[in-house]
Structure 1
């Protein structure tokens, strides 16, 4: 079995990679029948020579490989017919900007296995960059808060050599009695919690957050039923919320009236209530001064997120009165951090974490049988056809 590591070609440049040099060496030693070939790249966070030093072939053509691993979408001009591809295709929601990509993969009889839909028997994702989105997103939120209140400055994560250097900056954070509210319980939430714990901010219950005063910074971590209630006030549960989101309304404002900082790491499903609207942000009792929107749904559930921001320019101000951008340091203006590619700020750490999950959870099944049920369920197209599970995309590619 020949595995090829793709060069990331999508703009802006992405330095991440599916497998690090050390991980490639591990695979070669564990699976003697496997060969790995890495496409030459001057963008990747690991140099070509680091791969060569681990005994990995560095080439300028992957057409002889069976399986091709990447991160972001592959340009249609670079696709190779008949191959098995794994990357984040961003096609399963019928994204218009990737219509040509999906259509071309079907035409070339490519087997497209999307990382996003590699899930376990409980429908939980097995692989992704969510943890590092949470880690960097939480860090950037405190970077933003320091600039907003003009009390401290942190080195941007993308200027740090690695996660260790970034975390060495946390001692510069100056907090007093701030109240922080966090949403999202998945990988993103785990990453957020990791940073909050390193800063040694105490976690409190939602009731304590709403009703008690503290002489120290604290945070509460909310699940979706903590800020969504049924409109008819009947008892709710997860299953009911999943199946009937239109029967619910947001109760997030009770937290927005108490919080100074909001770190949004939730997953937003279409049809669910917005956490807070632009109208809510106009409320005289709305207290949030900084929003770190890791989820980054534009003009969606977080009313102040009117656009995404960039790694080099991560902050903008949202004026609730005008509903337009403004100086984020002005009084009454919400400072918004809404970078939509956060893991790219720590590409080596993020790649290592991703590769470890790939090796542990996906690769054994992929090498044993490319028709394994796990792989099959994540295959969008194969042999010139959309698979049954994704046949709803037929109208999308015509």
Structure 2
């Protein structure tokens, strides 16, 4: 069995991301479980786990990673830091032809790099095996409660990013004293699961969708809403999830019934651009529209939530949306506004915890593939480019990658 040398790269993207694919203890575990794996770490001053924490567990610190077989990071690698002819794992954000990363994909092809995207790593059932979704939900729900409390002057929570670990953040839960409001959580995946973890630990009770819509409570409650609860297909009487995901454009939103009873919305559901928006700006101007605080945890700008006009930052996580004018205003400026939290990198607020979860998945699902000849094809399915050429599955990205050449030529002429 061949040996595999894995290098944990220094994150170079700005703004800085403090997460790591493998924590110091996970590096040790990986090499114990897989004796033919060697893990080295490129020194970094910005990681949530310090160089010293790796060195104390005898993980080699190595600036030059040219002798590594596999390089693992978290976010996109700056073009000038890419090492030619290597195999990289990171979130590339290219499969939807994101305009800002066309140059990155072009550089990957030009440098004969093999790119394996974490987002595309799935099991035989098509389910993702490595993701930060749970922590997006955890931090997003916490931020949603923080935002609601701040809007109404109920309590003042310490921001998650100022907490060293999640345990510190959980100490803040005891400050939460909510009136009998109703909180809606959309979605059924990792993100929604993380959000429900927070509400459950805060002592907020989950109720059925029917009770949520039609009963009054003397305490704060929440309901989990699945796609079938707020979408329907006019020409079909029975809900069919596979059909909804295959033909989202044939459906219409029925979310208005929830806007009449919901105070705080935690949006955790994946949204397809062809699917209907939850509600419209016109809906928000109706007298019975009750939602006054929204945590758009999935943060699709101009997506399912019309108020998400921009992504916000960890330092300044909220803004107000004026439903009358349709304009954004300073956060907490008017009670009549809808206050929106739309941070697009939520797991970065608890980087140590999020990295531990992520590393667990890397060891359980990715490392075995290095030594079993990719049995089941997990790595193959997630490979966007192999040795500088797009794989068949992702050949549709060729024009997108080539657009970077055209734009560069235009810039040169100018």
Tell whether the structures are fold-level matches, with TM greater than 0.5.
Answer: yes
2:390 to 376, 386, 391: 386
1:373 has 2:391 as partner: no
1:354 has 2:358 as partner: yes
Deviations 1:245-299 (A, max 9, x none): 1211101111011001000001011200000121111111100011010011112
Task: Work out the CA distance in 1 between the residues paired with 2:371 and 2:229.
Answer: 42
Q: Which runs of 5+ in 2 are unaligned?
A: 403-414
Task: Work out the CA distance in 1 between the residues paired with 2:31 and 2:364.
Answer: 14
What corresponds to 2:285 in structure 1? 282
Deviations 1:57-98 (A, max 9, x none): 101111110000000000111111111110000011111111
Q: Which runs of 5+ in 1 are unaligned?
A: none
1:235 shift after superposition:
2.4
C-alpha root-mean-square deviation of aligned residues, in Å? 1.2
1:382 shift after superposition:
0.5
Cα contact 2:124–2:376 (8 A) shared by 1:
no
What secondary structure is seen at the aligned counterpart in 2 of 1:58?
Answer: coil
What corresponds to 2:411 in structure 1? none
What secondary structure is seen at the aligned counterpart in 1 of 2:49?
Answer: coil
Cα contact 1:327–1:333 (8 A) shared by 2:
no
1:327 shift after superposition:
4.0
What corresponds to 1:3 in structure 2? 6
Task: Work out the CA distance in 1 between the residues paired with 2:389 and 2:135.
Answer: 34
Deviations 1:84-143 (A, max 9, x none): 110000011111111111111112221110000001122111111000000000000010
What corresponds to 1:269 in structure 2? 272
1:339 has 2:343 as partner: yes
Task: Work out the CA distance in 1 between the residues paired with 2:355 and 2:401.
Answer: 31
2:323 to 312, 320, 323: 320
What corresponds to 1:133 in structure 2? 136
1:29 to 15, 32, 39: 32
Task: Work out the CA distance in 2 between the residues paired with 1:270 and 1:367.
Answer: 38
1:321 shift after superposition:
0.4
Q: How many residues align?
A: 398
1:120 to 123, 142, 145: 123
Cα contact 1:229–1:251 (8 A) shared by 2:
yes
What corresponds to 2:205 in structure 1? 202
1:230 shift after superposition:
1.2
2:165 to 159, 162, 182: 162
What secondary structure is seen at the aligned counterpart in 2 of 1:339?
Answer: coil
TM-score of the two chains, using structure 1 as the length reference: 0.98
